Structure 1
Amino acid sequence: MSVLSKEYFHNEEAAIAHLESILWGDEPICPHCGSVGNSYKIGGKSARPGLRKCGDCRKQYTVKVGTVFESSHVPLYKWLQATFLMVSSKKGISAHQLHRVLEVTYKTAWFMAHRLREAMRDGGLDVFGGEGGTVEVDETFIGHDKDIKPKYQKKGRGYAHKHKVLALVDRDTGRARSMVVDSLKATALVPILKENIAKETRVLTDEAGQYKKLGNDFAKHDFVRHGIGEYGRGEIHTNTIEGYFSIFKRGMKGVYQHCAKRHLHRYLAEYDFRYNERKITDSERSDIALRGIVGKRLTYAN
């Protein structure tokens, strides 16, 4: 039997019960006042599936209130299908593919995908490395930045016209974190690295000039010289983060093809999430993504 044959992928009440078990466990939680376990179901033909009323604040709610699913007219079981498809596709799944599979409009599929990417955003403030750990740092370029001044708007060789992405990979935990940056100068990157990497960490980079003085801010800084064809000296390499970029770029170019700068941070969150949760099953990864829907809203204006 296929995993997509499970009842909660096809039945609205089963989908609601599944999401309630993930977000609430055994006790319903009122999103309005935070009351736990003090609510009752509202039945009847006119009541929405899963509708409850809080015994404390007396407000009605469903498990979707206060999440990225709130106010959506798309059936919840289709949201669960979309979540599973996105987290189980190594390089992503396009909005056009979701539109065909879920039988919703392209506009709806596009917005669903962005809501789910928002759910995948970690938002954690924990630093990488620490206690003698090792963190690889590198940057890459993607797409075409329309905000660049006209004289730099070229589509040929070079990187001045592209979006700039900075990424970190913690070798000890196997976790990645990536972000869109406006500049690759040391004055812009070093403060970001200091916020995200513990000072007692060994940092590994390539020979780019913006990284030359990292030894002043971290326990140790080693680098490889790609310019002369050097890609590793024992443990000194950036191959781990290059592997992350390989998956990211193949997905962005082969699946999504184009991304505006204002949306790029969500695509990065999607690739970070799948990379960081790569050692578990697709179903487990889907449940983790669904736990991230709470407290996040996204409108078309965003």
Structure 2
Amino acid sequence: MTYAFPPAGLPDQSVNPEGTAIFTEAYAVLPACTMRDIVTSYLPGWSDTRVWIIARPLSGFAETFAQYAVEVAPGGGSDAPEPDTGAQAAILLADGTMTLTIDGTNHTLTSGGYAYIRPGAAWSVRNTGTTPLQFHWIRKRYEPVQGIDWPESFVTSDKETPVNWMPNTDKWGTTRFVDPSDLRHDMHANIVTFLPGGRIPFAETHVMEHGLYVLQGTARYLLNKDWVEVGPGDFMWLRAFCPQACIATGDEPFRYLLYKDVNRHPRLMI
């Protein structure tokens, strides 16, 4: 299993700048080739770290979450990574070695490691390896519900979590780090897998907002009325009710990190 990450660098001057990035009212596609050195940011409280902010709450774009690709040099990191005490986090490690401390407990994560960090937790990140640490970080403001306990932090890995195959197929499944029926959780950050030839056999149209970061493989993806070709490192944002479907292509699994908001009443706007 591989876990794609932004390619960084800068294309040669001979490269044609016309690309495949798409930004619409219903969806957006940020190809891996757009995630270069010149679009990184630096964050307060982090040392020797740069980030690609690939989704953020914005009118006409993501509404419920922010998503980063984070690169930390050896020895770098943060003792206070999250400025919002109401935010929860999901982390998937792409490469390197991370020492993640949550509420005083140390965890060592390597490629494929996954962590959920509860809102209000005291946590820190440090690159304790000799190579760059690269990880994906999803942030969402938690929505508490009276009578339901807040979720607890946990650490696991992609390798330790089984794929739940969809009914009547062994070509499309989801690695679920959280039980879908656990109402403490108001977001899921899963890994979706399609084996070669696998597909979503209908145009899903639903209330959940999505962020999809392609970790491995290639596919044709239906976004609203458009079929787009996607591959490792590409990111897709889908607003609520945007029709979507997928047909895996190539000879290796097509896998992506999927964000969705779940298990809460929609807020009624005035």
TM-score higher than 0.5 here?
Answer: no
TM-score (norm 1): 0.23
| More relative contact order, 1 or 2 (CA 8 Å, 6+ apart) | 1
TM-score (norm 2): 0.25
Greater Cα radius of gyration, structure 1 or 2: 1
Structure 1 or 2: more strand by fraction: 2
Structure 1 or 2: more helix by fraction: 1
